[in-house]
Amino acid sequence: MLKEIQRFTLADLALPIKTLFTGYLLAIGVGLLVAGGQIMLTHGMADGKFGLSVDDIIYSYHGNHDGGNATKLESKLNGSMKENAPPEIRMALLKWSAAGAPEAQWADDIQLKVEQYCSPCHANMPGLANIADKAVMDEMVKQDEGATVSTLTRVSHIHLFGISFIFFFVGWIFTYATGISPLNKAILIFTPFAFLIIDIASWWLTKWSPNFAWFVIIGGFGYSMAACIMIFTSLYQMWVLPMKLKAKQVTGTK
């Protein structure tokens, strides 16, 4: 029966390697926190209230069908964009959308408001639709059906490729941890990949049925927790554990 042969441990690494691994893990840890904040400020505001909820997930991927014929523009202005537009501009856009987005008001009034108050962010920040473009705005004044298939396809492949690379290197560093059975270590290393697939598959399933929204939250929480456990364990064994072992050697304790 083959047994795992661990040639060296995190505590045994040379200082330059520890520094390399530590810098990477700290950057990834901060990245997870920032990603969480970004989710709270985008998806977490889809229902107009701060904090991620099942309704936020449903509105983001399935669409907001509670308002009857609510358009994408109305859903955004009543949700994640509610605090980002002056009240009078927000109301003007809502009234224009509710009136059927008449062409006559676009060039003489609405477009000017959008360019002044919306374009500084929407025309310059990646991921935000440039709603000053009439073709883009035409899509925004259609009934809110949530994320489009093209958007889901684009975001899905970016997340699958990018986040998988993150988990690969976090897991690779964690393979040198000690005090954990090979089976438990293998399960923990595989866990974030499994939850990532659940998370992204749930986007598509929620687009089809809002009953799958819970799985989006479960998937994101699952891979974040698994990654955090591996990050903190690796950092502990690289820096804290060697000091404890050295202290025991000095005092002669077991």
Tokens 């903190």 sit on residue: 232
| Residue 88: other Cβ atoms inside 10 A | 10
Q: Please state the domain extents for the chain.
A: 13-42+147-251, 64-140
Residue 120, pLDDT above cutoff 90? no
C-alpha 63/C-alpha 151 separation (Å) is 13
pLDDT band of 2, cuts 50, 70, 90: very low
* Tokens linked to 130: 């440039």
55-101 tens-digit pLDDT = 889 888 988 765 555 787 887 888 778 888 788 998 899 889 888 88
For the full predicted model, state whether its pTM sits above 0.85: no
Radius of gyration of the chain (CA): 24
* Tokens linked to 31: 């990245």
pLDDT, position 77: 85
Residue 71 bridge partners (DSSP): 143
What is the amino acid identity at position 61?
Answer: Y
C-alpha 115/C-alpha 67 separation (Å) is 27
What is the amino acid identity at position 96?
Answer: W
C-alpha 249/C-alpha 254 separation (Å) is 8
Choice among 8-17, 80-89, 174-183, 245-254 with the minimum mean pLDDT: 245-254
Of the chain, the percentage scoring pLDDT greater than 70 comes to 92
